Amino acid sequence: MRSYLPEFDLVTPPTMPQALGLLASGEGWRPIAGGTDLMVLMNAGKLDHSRLVAVDRFPELRGIAETESHISIGAATTFTEIREHAALREHFPLLPQAASWSGGVANQNRGTLGGNIANASPAADSLPALLVYEAELLLVSVSGSRTIPYRNFHTGYKQMALNADELIAQIHLLKPSGRTVHHGRKVGTRKAQAISKVCIAATGNTGERRFRLAFGSVAPIPLRCVRTEELLTNDKLTSALIREAERVLSSEISPITDIRSTSGYRTTVACNLLREFLELLL
Amino acid sequence: MSVAKRKFSFTVNGEGKTIETYPMRRLLDVLREDLRLTGTKEGCGEGECGACSVIVNDRLVNSCLLPVAQAAGARICTVEDLAQSGELHPLQKAFIECGGAQCGICTPGMIMASVSLLSRCPHPTREQISDALAGNLCRCTGYSRIIESVEKVSRS
């Protein structure tokens, strides 16, 4: 049932400091960017916040900046912009790949990376990629700014280290070495327009024995699998080690049974996805 | 608490429009109800089916997910803008010739998604067409004649 329109306000202040002021005012203002999550709630009559401040056009939150060692993505960058960006495709290919999985073109033209993070669905497509790339978030408020490693951002289902007056401003990424293998795969009901049953993002550098592994839809938060990573780092990669890694992974993840899939299916497929990745490196 | 209606201005199909309404009103409803542009359809109301697709500032968007307050100042194109002086757009002709429309409810969205694709990629592959139309659902045709319609235009 649709929400009652006269109860909802949406304002578009011209500057970010004005928007931050509203978020800090204690009057219940919350940010909206592309609206591809919040408007779904609105249309279903389930949007809790009745005062929204638009943040999708502020220059401080937009743009993709590259240096020799880093790329920084503005939080209000859309999935389409991420897909189209040559340096992201070269250095962080799992991100444009995940962006191409998120809904259809119309969703990607509005949906933003910051929104994907703040909505904090454990099934979100871009979040496992951000985990394996060890992203750092820049958060801003009227009081100033702070950075937080993205791996510490999600603290529980839809719980995050983000104060009510804070906005995610930038996502900082350190470029991996050129000999890193990047692998991502999303398993869903359909090839497109599907929320994932399981999703893997992984990077591997067998020379340096450096592995980063993250999964979506296997825990209350997007999950970086550090115990599985540690096992892979300690020994030479063999078929036996891959089997052991699958065992460790199945104890590290905690998938549930829900409308999309069962915990048994998710565990089996997560292990299959891990094995598929590791066999690329054998 | 009740929010007052406000005025929002934008261009629709090349014409300046000002609408007084609630800020969270969906662009879809403003187009259909206030501007009587009923070519754009509502299918799912949650951004999954693409029946409500319009082009805003040269980008395809689902108008069921766009609050009118965030469309202020935008250039909006709907399916009504495609036929010029009584002459159908090549995509519209192709959909007729190839049988790309049955009940027609997905068709405006499919055509807008195709317009958006062809404006960026005039000769797409079949895979590129599938990717561009992935956000548009059809319950009638099984998609093959829709893809053929787009291919017909992309070949010419």
What percent of chain A lies above the pLDDT cut of 90? 94
Alpha helix positions (H), chain B: 27-29, 90-98, 107-120, 126-132, 144-155
What percent of chain B lies above the pLDDT cut of 70? 100
Q: Please tell me the distance from the alpha carbon of residue B122 to that of residue B115, in angstroms, as a whole number.
A: 9
Q: B46 vs chain A: nearest CA distance in angstroms?
A: 5
Give me A72's structure tokens. Answer: 């920084």
Question: Which residues of A, range 179-198, sit inside 8 Å of B by Cβ?
Answer: 191-193
What average pLDDT does range B18-47 have in this prediction? 98
Instruction: Tell me how far CA of residue B138 lies from CA of A193, B88, B95, B107, B142, in angstroms.
Output: 13, 22, 14, 8, 7
Residues in chain B whose Cβ is within 8 Å of chain A: 1-3, 22-26, 45-48, 50, 53, 59-62, 64-67, 69-70, 72, 113, 116-117, 130-137
Instruction: Tell me how far CA of residue B95 lies from CA of B80, B141, B144, in angstroms.
Output: 15, 11, 11
Q: What is the pLDDT of residue A143?
A: 97
Contact B65 A36 (CB under 8 A): yes
Q: B136 vs chain A: nearest CA distance in angstroms?
A: 8
Q: Please tell me the distance from the alpha carbon of residue A247 to that of residue A274, in angstroms, as a whole number.
A: 11
Q: Please tell me the distance from the alpha carbon of residue B44 to that of residue A262, in angstroms, as a whole number.
A: 26
Q: A13 vs chain B: nearest CA distance in angstroms?
A: 11
Mutate to test the interface with B, among A3, A4, A5 (most CBs of B within 10 A): A5
Query: Please, which residues bridge with residue A64 across strands?
Result: A73
**8 Å CB contact between A138 and A147:** yes
Contact B50 A106 (CB under 8 A): yes
If pLDDT is split at 50, 70 and 90, which confidence band does A228 have?
very high
Per DSSP, the residues of A87-98 read HHHHH-THHHHH
With CA atoms as reference, report the closest residue to A254 among A246, A264, A241. Answer: A264
Q: What is the pLDDT of residues A160-180, one digit of tens each?
A: 999 999 999 999 999 998 789
Q: Please tell me the distance from the alpha carbon of residue B139 to that of residue B152, in angstroms, as a whole number.
A: 22
**8 Å CB contact between A216 and A199:** yes
Assess whether pLDDT exceeds 90 at residue A3: no
Chain B residues touching A110 at Cβ < 8 A: 59, 61-62, 65-66
Q: Residue type for A229, please?
A: E
Q: Please tell me the distance from the alpha carbon of residue B52 to that of residue B32, in angstroms, as a whole number.
A: 10
**8 Å CB contact between A170 and A68:** no
**Chain A CA closest to residue B51:** A106
CB within 8 Å of B96: residues ≥ 6 apart: B88
What average pLDDT does range A64-78 have in this prediction? 98
Contact B24 A100 (CB under 8 A): no
If pLDDT is split at 50, 70 and 90, which confidence band does B156 have?
confident
**8 Å CB contact between A101 and A140:** no
If pLDDT is split at 50, 70 and 90, which confidence band does A208 have?
confident
Question: Which residues of A, range 103-132, sit inside 8 Å of B by Cβ?
Answer: 103-107, 109-110
Q: What is the pLDDT of residue A177?
A: 84
If pLDDT is split at 50, 70 and 90, which confidence band does A265 have?
very high
Q: A25 vs chain B: nearest CA distance in angstroms?
A: 17
Contact with chain B for residue A50, Cβ under 8 A: yes
**Chain A CA closest to residue B65:** A39
**8 Å CB contact between B50 and B138:** no
Q: What is the pLDDT of residues B99-146, one digit of tens each?
A: 999 999 999 999 999 999 999 999 999 999 999 999 999 999 999 999
Per DSSP, the residues of B71-104 read GTT-EEE-GGGTSBTTBPPHHHHHHHHHT--SS-
Per the prediction, chain A carries an average pLDDT of 97
Q: What is the pLDDT of residue A2?
A: 77
Contact A12 B72 (CB under 8 A): yes
Q: In this structure, are strands B6-12 and B75-77 parallel, antiparallel, or unpaired?
A: parallel
Contact B66 A12 (CB under 8 A): no
Q: What is the pLDDT of residue B7?
A: 98
Chain B residues touching A105 at Cβ < 8 A: 60, 113, 116-117, 131-132, 134-135
What interface predicted TM-score (ipTM) does this complex get?
0.97
Q: What is the pLDDT of residues A213-226, one digit of tens each?
A: 999 999 999 999 99
CB within 8 Å of A216: residues ≥ 6 apart: A122, A123, A124, A125, A127, A128, A186, A196, A198, A199, A201, A222, A223
Q: B137 vs chain A: nearest CA distance in angstroms?
A: 10
Q: Please tell me the distance from the alpha carbon of residue B28 to that of residue B36, in angstroms, as a whole number.
A: 11
What average pLDDT does range A237-255 have in this prediction? 97
Q: B139 vs chain A: nearest CA distance in angstroms?
A: 15
If pLDDT is split at 50, 70 and 90, which confidence band does A206 have?
confident
Mutate to test the interface with B, among A39, A52, A119, A190 (most CBs of B within 10 A): A39
Q: What is the pLDDT of residues B54-103, one digit of tens each?
A: 999 999 999 999 999 999 999 999 999 999 999 999 999 999 999 999 99
